[in-house]
Amino acid sequence: MTTRPWIVDDDLWALIEPLLPPWSEKAPGPRPVADRLCLQGILYVLHNDMAWQLLPLELGFGSGQTCWRRLDRWQKAGVFDRLHRTLLAELNAAGELDWSRTCVDGSHIRAKGGADTGPSPVDRRKTGSKHHLICDGHGTPLKVITTAANVNDVTQTLALVDGIPPVAGRPGRPRRRPEALLGDKGYDSNAHRAELRRRRILPVISRKGAPNIKGLGKLRYVVEQTFALFHHFKRLAVRWERRTELHDAFLSLACSLICWRRLRRPKND
């Protein structure tokens, strides 16, 4: 593995470049810093969690303000969500997505204020946010939602399910629905079970006050592994962005990188 994970290789850039909004040829002022270099600056911040103004100029990324503005511009254009969807389609075409089940869970992070923050029930009520994740049976992230830390997991169940993008890559219509949804007791709700069944999804969710469903933990461990992968990106361990959409840009980019690594990993014979 490269010791410089912020470097964008040619194959990944070939997927990203067509998604980027073009610059007007008649735009006034000096020619902007190349998109590829700005993306590498954004990845540098994502991996190392440093203040934008401390981004090393000698690496050629441009200033931190330049990279921040490019991140904002690309998020508004939907670049990172489209990249995530493109990579999911490639994984689906390669038979690397497990639609037989999906797993949901939530993870708290500290936040420095801004939208979608609140008192964390697991961190002495300090200001925090929560990542709500749904992944496939292999742990590939399908959708992540950011809320305040005091939002109950169960309230995001249907938003996560309905937020799975249409994934192409196989003959027929793009797929959006798994066969089953696995969740712990935090997702116990008869109303949500009924809504999942209406969507033709089997709810496999432990009930409060009853023993856990046997073997459920061995199937759900993949969602914890995916959260661990998110936290390898140091920028996601603590939320610094006051605007939720900028934090979500980093989340979508992290989802894309996880998918890219799984697509590129060697296949076992």
pLDDT (tens digit, 9 = 90+) per residue, 93-137? 999 999 999 999 999 999 988 999 999 998 888 999 999 999 999
Question: Are residues 199 and 154 both part of a single domain?
Answer: yes
In this structure, the answer to whether residues 178 and 126 fall within a common structural domain is yes
The yes-or-no verdict on residue 269 having pLDDT over 60 is no
42 shares its domain with 170: no
Please report how many Cα atoms fall inside a 13 Å half-sphere around the Cα of residue 152, on the Cβ side.
Answer: 9
CB atoms within 10 A of CB 89: 20
Distances in whole angstroms, Cα of residue 56 to Cα of each of 38, 60, 61, 73, 246: 12, 8, 8, 21, 21
Q: Are residues 154 and 66 in the same domain?
A: no
Q: Which residue has the tokens 């993008």?
A: 165
Range of the domain at 54: 10-20+30-76
Asked if the structure places residue 245 within a domain, the reply is no
Q: Is 259 a domain residue?
A: no
- Looking at the fold, whether 44 and 117 belong to one and the same domain comes out as no
Q: What angle do CA 68, 9, 34 make, to 5 degrees?
A: 40
Q: Where are the alpha helices (DSSP H) in the chain?
A: 10-16, 35-48, 64-76, 79-93, 157-163, 190-198, 216-232, 244-264
Same domain, 56 and 177: no
pLDDT number for residue 27? 61
- 106 within a domain of the structure (yes/no): yes
Count of the separate structural domains present in the chain: 2
Task: Find the CATH number of the domain harbouring 204.
Answer: 3.30.420.10
Task: Answer yes or no: is 91 within a domain.
Answer: no
Model pLDDT, residue 28: 62
Q: Is the pLDDT of residue 267 over 80?
A: no
pTM: 0.92
> What is the average pLDDT across 195-206?
95
Q: Note the pLDDT tens digit of each residue in 221-233.
A: 899 999 999 999 9
Residue 262: inside a domain: no
Are residues 115 and 60 located together in one domain of the fold? no
The answer to whether residues 54 and 131 belong to one domain is no
The answer to the question of residue 82 being in a domain is: no
63 lies in a domain? yes
Instruction: Give domain status of residue 3, yes or no.
Output: no
What letter would DSSP give residue 266? P
